[in-house]
Structure 1
Amino acid sequence: MQTRKKYIFLTFLASWLLLFFFGGDQLRRFTFFSSKKTETLRNWPHWTDRSLLQSFADAEELEGDGDPPLQSPTARRAAWLNVYKNSRCRMETCFDFSRCEKHGFKVFVYPWEKGDPMSDAYRKILTSIEKSHYYTPNPEEACLFVLNIDTLDRDHLSAQYVHGINDKIQGFPLWNDGRNHLIFNLYSGTWPNYTEDLGFDIGQAILAKASFYTENFRPGFDVSIPLFSKDHPQKGGERGWLQNLMPPKKKYLLVFKGKRYLTGIGSSTRNALHHIHNGKDIISLTTCKHGRDWEKHKDTRCDKDNIDYGKFDYRELLHNSTFCIVPRGRRLGSFRFLEALQAACVPVLLSNGWELPFSEAIDWGRAAVVGDERLLLQIPSAVRCVAPERILALRQQTQFLWDAYFSSVDKIVRATLEIVKDRLFPHRSRARIFWNALPGGLLALPDFSTRRGDFPFYHPQQGSSPSDKFTALVRAVCPVVSLSQPLRRLLQAVSTSRHCAQILVLWSCEKPPPPRGKWPQTAVPLTVIRGRTGLSDRFFPYPDIRTDAVLSLDEHTNLSTSEVDFAFVVWRAFPERIVGFPTRSHFWDAGQRRWGYTSRRTNEFSMVLTAAAFYHSLAPSPRYYHNLYTSSLPAAPRGLVDRLATCEDVLMNFLVAAVTKLPPIKVTQWKQHREPVGQQVEDTAASAGALRSSQRQDCLNQLVDWFGYMPLVSSQLRLDPVLFKDQVSILRKKYRHLERL
């Protein structure tokens, strides 16, 4: 019996082997597919479970959607490995940290050679680097290198494709197999598969790439960047479209309007989008009209789809929709992603395997809905379940992210550099919370602090408030000090404030300061420090400042102790803003087509002069706004201040407004504030005053050009301790001396 069983088993085994080796091509393919099926379904960003569509589509429609045969993640990875030999690169293995030790994080851009092709987009990237405070023209000082060869478009069918890159970079003496190099790329691969092949060996270089496939992304080394158009602005950029937060839900719940690819990669999801269209609160419109030979591939839906497509305006849909579908295009990324962010339309991402832009720093769960292409039909019910308060939070976050990192090429490049810098100096890197909340990763300088509570934006969230003391920083330019001069009176008035901790006199005169015995006796310590070269010395982060607030004063400012006390109390309630006395305004001069500057007293203002103003400091770390002014701003705007003596006020107001997106705050009534003689001269029609006003107007326009937009915000808010005369006893009032002025 046992022998019979053995013969039966051996006969069956021999038959199976003969079938497999001599006629089993189909069987081998089936066996291979079965072993890989789960992996393919999990990773490949295309429709796989077609049973989900049975109630919506004909069987004929589901057959042959025009895509090329699916390429497994293993095959995609193998193709990547063939081109990128250093696929396991990490900062610890493929980056020379020693280059960054002596001079810090400095970036060198290869000089552009005349005749080399370069797209406008890549020129914007290089310009952003060269105008940043990280740029160095000396390669010996550089920590990071950027090529002068345009690597953005690596589709060899494109007119922007640059040939022979591999031979060129190998000839660069600084190349060193790409070590410490950063390569930017927006488009890779070409028809029909659009792989991530760049057409040259990047060696050990860091790749800043759009449409990054997760399997090919090297965490902690590469940087995923957004896909942006050639028309994306160099600096500034348009503000987000969110103006009214209420109601959180708009006219349309979910919208999409775009191309429907009839063949090739990316056609699956877009071909299926019409199944969720209901013509009411869900609008999904596609057109077949793209490419030269679209009519050769048109199907029965194309004519109707093309007619419906023209009935809606794309920009209007963005304005009036709560959620916007962002499906993959030919590549994983899409221009629609940034468009949705700007419009405050919550992106619904349908691009499986996409490494989202700046994913290392940005928490996209707070601003977008990450969907699954294979579960498209569940998207409408999923977004209907999002609570109104959650929608409101998502829309607010889209505006913050757009303005902080994506509204211009300059911000995209700076975010890329800051992410790389944080990897090099982990002990001073920004926590993730800084990237996802005010002031944002580009303004939360780790050189200032890595603690949330040290920044002026987080006191309410932490249930704390700034300290009850300030440092008065008085700038003196007069060569002689006598008892009759305004400086002596100012020092005495400020020192008697119950909130004053110390007075620092910034001596900016050519002559040495008077001996200590000639300075007035004050109730608080008085220290004289010599000013640094240049007119920006007022905002240098002096280590002598050891309080949460700075009261910036000019020597001729005339203030009473009560005015100082009240202004400080107001500042403690708004520690992120400039709070002070003399105000100025900006306006758009349509006749001259430029920004105007005025010192006229009106109900509206946008600047508070630092001749008498409080703003945020912090001890023991370097002062925040001082540090931002001195360390973050490139040399160009600070050099403008050195050339135009009246520009320092304007630049500091620009900087604070750009950080906070809020106007300054004016205190006390203007009739009560006795302006110094110098200010009165400035505001008159005299030639000297006209010259100063003209200089500030020139400064205003040059700074707008540098920032790329006008950051100043106008306000009509004024905080006064006494709004009107009343019958309360003058002795019972907290700021009774102000009413007597």
Structure 2
Amino acid sequence: MQRNGGGVGASGQPWVLRRVRLTWLSFMLFFILVFFPLIAHYYLTTIDEAGGPDKRIFGPRPGGELCEAKHVQDLCRIRESVSEELLQLEAKRQELNGEIARLNLRIEACKRSIDSAKQDLLQLKNVISQTEHSYKELMAQNQPKLSLPVRLLPDKDDPGLPPPKSARACRLRSCFDYARCPLTSGFPVYVYDTGSYSWGEYIDPLVKQAFVASVKSNIYITDNPSIACLYVVLVGELQEFPSSPLPSPAELEKQLKALPYWRSDGHNHLLVHLSRKSLTQNFLYNVSTGRAAMAQSTFLEQQYREGFDLVVSPLVHALSEPNFLEVPPQVPVKRKYLFTFQGERVESLRSSLQESPPQSFEEEMEGDPPADYDDRIIGTLKAVQDSHLDQVLVEFTCKNPQPSLATEWALCGEREDRLEVLKASTFALVISPGDGQLVASAGCGMRLFEALEVGAIPVVLGDHSRLPYHQHIRWSEAAILVPKARITELHFLLRSLSDNDLLAMRRQGRFLWETYFSTSENVLNTILASIRTSIQVPAAPIREEPAQEIPHKAGKLAGTDANLADNGDLDLGPVETEPPYASPRFLRNFTYTAADTYRTWNRAPGPFHLFPHTPLDPVLPSEAKFLGSGTGFRPIGGGTGGSGKEFQAALGGNVPREQFTVVMLTYEREEVLMNSLERLNGLPYLNKVVVVWNSPKPPSDDLLWPDIGLPIVVVRTEKNSLNNRFLPWDAVETEAILSIDDDAHLRHDEIMFGFRVWREARDRIVGFPGRFHAWDVNHQSWLYNSNYSCELSMVLTGAAFFHKYYAYLYSYVMPQAIRDMVDEYINCEDIAMNFLVSHITRKPPIKVTSRWTFRCPGCPQALSHDDSHFHERHKCINFFVKVYGYMPLLYTQFRVDSVLFKTRLPHDKTKCFKFI
């Protein structure tokens, strides 16, 4: 049998050959139908482009003779139909693509509109939520808002208070009319013109001139006596002329009662007696002053009314101001002499004290004093000097003693000679008068003033003496107060004090001298502040710098900076964007005056200003925010805590919610500025941006500012000064300020971390680039250093948070010489701010994150790249040290990173900050 694969067909041909022939015919037919028309069209097209077909070879074009062949007519007709359909399809495709592009544009516009509407809706929902939350907090407080009381002035002929039993029984409660001084009055003070009363012509011309100049600059002075709370009369020091003797006590009393607003008893009057000498008159001793208080440097016990009259210091610098650069430095601690005293005892001429008041102050001081320790003091101090255990200088006789009161120790020689001795003294002895009834004397006041001026720590012997403003100033922080009975232990006591305590006392003494005694303006301010504090009226609010805005156009949408780090699946703030929220202001007005008197009088800057808020406000305990005092608090997780997601949703911390203001200084770098502003887009807790335009040339008219969803306030400055960075602009409505250069490049998570850290250290500078002050051993001076170091003492304010409180102090309280040097060098303002904060707090700044610089890549070169920049900063540091009298900067050896950074966490927990 044969296999089917090798069989023969019906025609007698093998089956394989027949199959091959059919395959070949099929291929030829396919070639004719498909490829021949294409080849023919190609050749025809080519020949046509070359000049026309050669009809001898090819004949007519398709559609003509070529297409007359039957086997290609159908193919040509199909080709033409297909080509036409393809052209139609291509046109249709292009039309559809255009329609798709237009629809995509409409879709994108709709998406943006929807996103904007969603943001507006979220903003409105958040505003409603915050309003409801605030309303609930207000209702939970159960403390209604109080409006200011209406001020009612008494009639001019008001009989006033019932008279006290005697003039010596006067106290504020019995002799001062509080009705004229409501808490909200602002403490208006009317000062009598010295030409309006007859004895005004006898007043020391220098004292009078200094007093008048100080009155003109005082913010409390009013020329409307009908609204005045206090009436001030300058009564002395008087000068006696041969042709015109001083008025007698009776005449003086009569003239006082003739003052137009005396109102029969002189209530709410203050008689100010200022003297430039160690021997001062006490011509008011036998004058009945009624209910008028007295402010002078000399008082007898029978005359002084505790809590009513004021002990003031002598007016040493009447018209001239002290040169703070000539004040000796506070270090080294120990000086040549352990202590010094130069004086000569003025023997008393009085035989015995009288039971009834004498006719004059001089008669009162006549006679012998009662038993005193003066002889024992002389013997003990001489023994210490002869022992040579320490080098001391004591002299009990003078070649040129100054006139002094009886029983008092007269000053020796001229003021310049005394200051030279005190500059070499660690301690300066101030021996109280031998007569215990002389509770205050100008001689002791002069010794105290000169000791504080040059940094010699006063040692006051005698516990019966009243030091200036002792009701408010805690003198034990600046002076050693020792009873005379302990004179034998004085040497041991002075040797036992540590250097730390001595420098703290010397520094406090310098503060008291500069703030209260150094100038005539300070003397008047202190007198008025003492009265105002005693009647519990708050100080006048410190002024703010009005922001003169430069109009600008915001038309450029801020994009997302590609350099900003991805924070993973965490937001940096609440899901709903917070509306602008200004920090509460002046909530502790009366607390400062009524309950915080010690701090306001004994810590810089003193009691002369009322601040809208300070970084020193007390902090509630943790449970208070959940038990009755939760106003404004936003605890993490509602109080349960949490990791990254819960942490980012609320500020938490120990103080209520708040926002911060970016203050950016710029000078004619518009492109750099615009880029920096764009990088702030979407930054949580940002209240607004204040751009300090430091150039006299305004911004370009065609400059489009980025729209970051928050106000950008462009402030015009009077001159190009780096001090403008720290002006307390009224446009800044938050306690927290982020001071940032226009070329600083910080990520959002870094800024947020710095803000959270600052909230826990509100009294310090918290920022990113750290620097330190280094000691130059060869030149015995300070250097500014920016090298990498394990210690730092400064944080540059080109990228740092600080409290607005320090902007007030920098601009209005810090010595003017420092601001002048900043303007001279156009440099060092950041060093000056670090000096100020460390001087006030005695704490170093806080550096956050591992950053050592903050400049943006590719920005134009800054001034800090110039070599002279560092030389100027060396000079600045040493100059500032001279102004302060010591080096305020303190070292720190740590920086702050976020909790849980580099910590291995379970899968259901997240970091606080991913990269910090």
Deviations 1:119-171 (A, max 9, x none): 43454444344334434455566433433x4x342586999997589366555
Aligned to 1:356: 467
What does 1:426-441 correspond to in 2, within 5 Å?
Answer: 427-428=590-591, 429=593, 430-435=595-600, 438-439=603-604, 441=606
Once the two structures are overlaid, the 10-residue window that deviates more, 425-434 or 114-123, is: 114-123
How far off is 1:421 after superposition? 1.6
Classify 1:608/1:128 alpha carbon distance in 2 versus 1 (closer, same or farther; 3 Å).
Answer: farther
**Rounded Cα–Cα distance in structure 2 between residues aligned with 1:209 and 1:529:** 53
- The answer as to whether partners of 1:541 and 1:627 remain within 8 angstroms in 2 is no
Aligned to 1:257: 342
Counterpart code for 1:104: G
- Match of 1:347, SS? strand
- Match of 2:679, SS? helix
Counterpart code for 2:395: L
Aligned to 1:594: none
Query: Alignment partner for residue 305 of structure 2, among 191, 214, 218?
Result: 218
Aligned to 2:711: 528
Classify 1:629/1:344 alpha carbon distance in 2 versus 1 (closer, same or farther; 3 Å).
Answer: closer
Counterpart code for 1:550: I
Aligned to 2:213: 127
**Rounded Cα–Cα distance in structure 2 between residues aligned with 1:634 and 1:316:** 27
**Rounded Cα–Cα distance in structure 2 between residues aligned with 1:232 and 1:483:** 50
- The answer as to whether partners of 1:472 and 1:502 remain within 8 angstroms in 2 is yes
**Rounded Cα–Cα distance in structure 2 between residues aligned with 1:424 and 1:274:** 43
TM value normalised by structure 1: 0.56
The higher radius of gyration belongs to 2
Classify 1:570/1:448 alpha carbon distance in 2 versus 1 (closer, same or farther; 3 Å).
Answer: closer
- Match of 2:466, SS? coil
Aligned to 1:725: none
Classify 1:117/1:675 alpha carbon distance in 2 versus 1 (closer, same or farther; 3 Å).
Answer: farther
| 1:153 matched to 2:237 | yes
What does 1:193-592 correspond to in 2, within 5 Å?
Answer: 197=284, 201-230=288-317, 234=321, 237=324, 242-245=330-333, 254-262=339-347, 264=349, 273-276=377-380, 277-278=382-383, 279-280=386-387, 281=389, 283-290=393-400, 315-316=420-421, 319-322=424-427, 324-328=429-433, 332-333=441-442, 334=444, 335-342=446-453, 345-351=456-462, 353-373=464-484, 375=485, 378-385=486-493, 388-389=496-497, 393=501, 396-404=504-512, 405-406=515-516, 408-409=518-519, 410-425=521-536, 427-428=590-591, 429=593, 430-435=595-600, 438-439=603-604, 441-442=606-607, 445=610, 448=613, 453=618, 471-475=659-663, 485-492=674-681, 494-495=683-684, 501-506=685-690, 519-520=707-708, 527-528=710-711, 539-540=728-729, 545=734, 549-553=736-740, 557-561=744-748, 564=751, 575-580=762-767
- The answer as to whether partners of 1:96 and 1:179 remain within 8 angstroms in 2 is no
Number of positions where the alignment pairs a residue of Structure 1 with one of Structure 2: 576
- Match of 1:491, SS? coil
Once the two structures are overlaid, the 10-residue window that deviates more, 648-657 or 325-334, is: 648-657
Counterpart code for 2:596: A
Deviations 1:4-63 (A, max 9, x none): xxxxxxxxxxxxxxxxxxxxxxxxxxxxxxxxxxxxxxxxxxxxxxxxxxxxxxxxxxxx
**Rounded Cα–Cα distance in structure 1 between residues aligned with 2:847 and 2:244:** 53
Classify 1:402/1:200 alpha carbon distance in 2 versus 1 (closer, same or farther; 3 Å).
Answer: farther
Classify 1:519/1:712 alpha carbon distance in 2 versus 1 (closer, same or farther; 3 Å).
Answer: farther
Unaligned runs of 5+ in 2: 1-162, 350-364, 407-411, 538-589, 621-652, 700-704, 719-723, 774-783, 897-901, 906-910
Aligned to 1:98: 180
How far off is 1:615 after superposition? 0.8
Aligned to 1:184: 272
**Rounded Cα–Cα distance in structure 2 between residues aligned with 1:477 and 1:322:** 47
Classify 1:109/1:649 alpha carbon distance in 2 versus 1 (closer, same or farther; 3 Å).
Answer: farther
- Match of 1:485, SS? helix
Counterpart code for 1:358: Y
How far off is 1:175 after superposition? 4.5
Counterpart code for 2:688: L
**Rounded Cα–Cα distance in structure 2 between residues aligned with 1:132 and 1:609:** 36
**Rounded Cα–Cα distance in structure 2 between residues aligned with 1:450 and 1:716:** 19
Classify 1:675/1:469 alpha carbon distance in 2 versus 1 (closer, same or farther; 3 Å).
Answer: farther
Unaligned runs of 5+ in 1: 1-80, 298-305, 456-464, 496-500, 512-516, 521-525, 587-598, 617-622, 695-699, 723-728
How far off is 1:407 after superposition? 5.2
**Rounded Cα–Cα distance in structure 2 between residues aligned with 1:527 and 1:92:** 56
Deviations 1:64-84 (A, max 9, x none): xxxxxxxxxxxxxxxxx9xx9
| 1:672 matched to 2:853 | yes
Classify 1:293/1:669 alpha carbon distance in 2 versus 1 (closer, same or farther; 3 Å).
Answer: closer
Deviations 1:592-627 (A, max 9, x none): xxxxxxx999999999876643112xxxxxx63466
Deviations 1:278-301 (A, max 9, x none): 12356531115446999xx9xxxx
Identity level (%): 22
**Rounded Cα–Cα distance in structure 1 between residues aligned with 2:600 and 2:313:** 16
Classify 1:367/1:607 alpha carbon distance in 2 versus 1 (closer, same or farther; 3 Å).
Answer: closer
- The answer as to whether partners of 2:846 and 2:895 remain within 8 angstroms in 1 is no
Aligned to 1:620: none
- Match of 1:400, SS? helix
- The answer as to whether partners of 2:330 and 2:885 remain within 8 angstroms in 1 is no
Aligned to 1:615: 802
Counterpart code for 2:187: F
How far off is 1:415 after superposition? 3.1
TM value normalised by structure 2: 0.47
**Rounded Cα–Cα distance in structure 2 between residues aligned with 1:293 and 1:413:** 26
**Rounded Cα–Cα distance in structure 1 between residues aligned with 2:600 and 2:836:** 19
- Match of 2:472, SS? coil
How far off is 1:658 after superposition? 6.7
Deviations 1:433-470 (A, max 9, x none): 41575346437847647975369xxxxxxxxx976987
Classify 1:146/1:634 alpha carbon distance in 2 versus 1 (closer, same or farther; 3 Å).
Answer: farther
Classify 1:133/1:397 alpha carbon distance in 2 versus 1 (closer, same or farther; 3 Å).
Answer: farther
- The answer as to whether partners of 1:470 and 1:551 remain within 8 angstroms in 2 is no
**Rounded Cα–Cα distance in structure 2 between residues aligned with 1:371 and 1:452:** 35
Deviations 1:220-261 (A, max 9, x none): 322222345347964675657532457xxx776654221232
**Rounded Cα–Cα distance in structure 1 between residues aligned with 2:460 and 2:892:** 45
How far off is 1:578 after superposition? 3.8
Counterpart code for 1:275: G
Classify 1:468/1:173 alpha carbon distance in 2 versus 1 (closer, same or farther; 3 Å).
Answer: closer
Counterpart code for 2:433: R
Classify 1:402/1:190 alpha carbon distance in 2 versus 1 (closer, same or farther; 3 Å).
Answer: closer
- The answer as to whether partners of 1:145 and 1:182 remain within 8 angstroms in 2 is yes
- Match of 2:802, SS? strand
Counterpart code for 1:94: F
Classify 1:188/1:142 alpha carbon distance in 2 versus 1 (closer, same or farther; 3 Å).
Answer: same
How far off is 1:372 after superposition? 4.3
Counterpart code for 2:330: L
**Rounded Cα–Cα distance in structure 1 between residues aligned with 2:504 and 2:496:** 12
**Rounded Cα–Cα distance in structure 2 between residues aligned with 1:257 and 1:648:** 44
How far off is 1:563 after superposition? 5.3
- The answer as to whether partners of 1:471 and 1:503 remain within 8 angstroms in 2 is yes
Counterpart code for 2:599: F
How far off is 1:720 after superposition? 9.4
